[in-house]
Structure 1
Amino acid sequence: MTIDLTSFRALSFDCYGTLIDWEAGIVAVLGPWAHEQRLDLTAEELLRAYAGNEAAVEREIPTARYPDVLAEAFRRTGTDLGGAVSDQWAHRLGDSVPDWPAFPDSADALARLRSHYLLIILSNVHRDGFAGSNRLLRGDFAAVVTAEDVGAYKPAENHFRALDTVLPDLGVARSELLHVAQSLFHDHVPATREGLPSVWINRRHDRPGWGATPEPGDGWSYDLEFPSMAAFADAVDSAFST
């Protein structure tokens, strides 16, 4: 272990991919669409085709609300795969965020972590979408920063710069913040750039490839790695008990 988990007062979290199983949510729409289009593709193949398109839309239209990003990314994915994406299908994905399932360990891990830290959300989503997801997470978050709030999507720096306002309001120094996320591309690249220590929740530790997340191309690092939120919460409980 390279950092002292007891030295931090707050945790900032990515949500989708870390706490919410966004890949399951995306495939729940792309899978039936592919079947309708008679495209013989696995879930991993669909996610791989989709990943770059979502990142591109977020980069090109940073002020778009997340449902519109999802819809446009779906249309572009359809073009790449040779299948038509109707407005109905596009909006079905765009409107699906509140239906995406939480990972089974997320709510319990958050409750345990809340006994040690203030919890902050830094998410590439819109406020209404996160509110729907938090009904599953039951998280007691001290602050929530979304793409809708900052007018950009990670890995842009906007979420992390917003911490300059959020942290002083909570009485927390930047040196007392630890970032927790699954996506190397969306979170650990900018966290490294911003000088924030981080924990990688490697949800895909038992699967090859990057799934719905583009492969990270820039410099990135992390201080600790865990296969799940439960394992991370166990390590925190252990650190505070000694």
Structure 2
Amino acid sequence: MAFEFETKPKFVTFDMNGTLIKFAIADATREVLGDRLPAEIADAYLQATKAYRIDECMGDYKPFHQIIANSMERASRRLGLEYRESDAKAVYDIVPTWTPYPGVTAALNRLAEEVPLVIITNSDTEMGERLAANLEAPFKTVITAEESGYYKPRLAAFEYMFNKLGVTPDELVHVSASPMYDLRSAAILGIKNKVYVDRGFEHDEYWLGYERITDIADLPVLFGLPRPAAS
């Protein structure tokens, strides 16, 4: 099978939540708020919390539980809902229970036969390690926002990763389901080899110059490996 990239990378780096782990924060928020989230504004509220999460990630580092709390408080104030700190904590406490998308574990283990794997995640260290363990695959390291002091899409998060791994951008392949959080920054910093796992929650930004896949089983194929057997 043909190797898709010009040279074999030193590492394949991954976004985790939303790419490998099913990022179900909207479901968690609905579950926690229950009847206190009126149906007629639920979609607007969830869209607002999503927008405020990325806005919170762009400033000075704060723990991820505070990112969730601040985004919920700001969305609640905007839409006239009661905000409770206990709700934000309850949403945060659900996060480590999230599991991989179908096929992820098999694809990662197949790919690990060819090249070392790394995670760079917008998670606290303890949470990131717990979620990475849910993937049941070998990772060289898990780089968290708590460790680096920066959240993606901030460029400094990726620069920290380059320094920690001792690599230049052209020595990596970066994989993500989010152009907004990952692939735009990767392109700006010169990561030529990128893979967009299209999970259907962001628009295709093909001009960023990535390989687009819709089935995680196709990821090893880009590295000249056979598709993992269907589970």
Same-fold status (TM-score > 0.5): yes
| Residue equivalent to 1:21 | 22
Question: Deviation string for 1:7-62 (max 9, x for gaps)?
Answer: 3231010011101111x2x12321134532151158765542221110111223x3
Structure 1 residues 102 and 41: CA distance shift in structure 2, 3 A: farther
Q: Is 1:200 aligned to residue 193 of structure 2?
A: no
Gap regions ≥5 residues in structure 2? none
Question: Deviation string for 1:91-150 (max 9, x for gaps)?
Answer: 111222211222122211111110011111111111111111122101311122111011
Q: Give the paired residue count.
A: 225
Q: Is 1:75 aligned to residue 88 of structure 2?
A: no
Report the CA distance between 1:2 and its aligned residue: 10
Gap regions ≥5 residues in structure 1? none
SS at match of 1:122: strand
| Residue equivalent to 1:227 | 214
| Residue equivalent to 1:147 | 145
SS at match of 1:12: strand
Equivalent pairs: percent with the same residue?
24
| Residue equivalent to 1:186 | 181
Contact persistence 1:179–1:199 (CA under 8 A): yes
SS at match of 2:143: strand
| Residue equivalent to 1:9 | 10
Report the CA distance between 1:158 and its aligned residue: 1.7
CA RMSD across the alignment = 2.8
Q: State TM-score, norm by structure 1.
A: 0.82
Q: Is 1:40 aligned to residue 35 of structure 2?
A: no
Contact persistence 1:188–1:220 (CA under 8 A): no
Report the CA distance between 1:237 and its aligned residue: 4.3
Structure 1 residues 104 and 239: CA distance shift in structure 2, 3 A: closer
Q: State TM-score, norm by structure 2.
A: 0.85
Contact persistence 2:111–2:225 (CA under 8 A): no
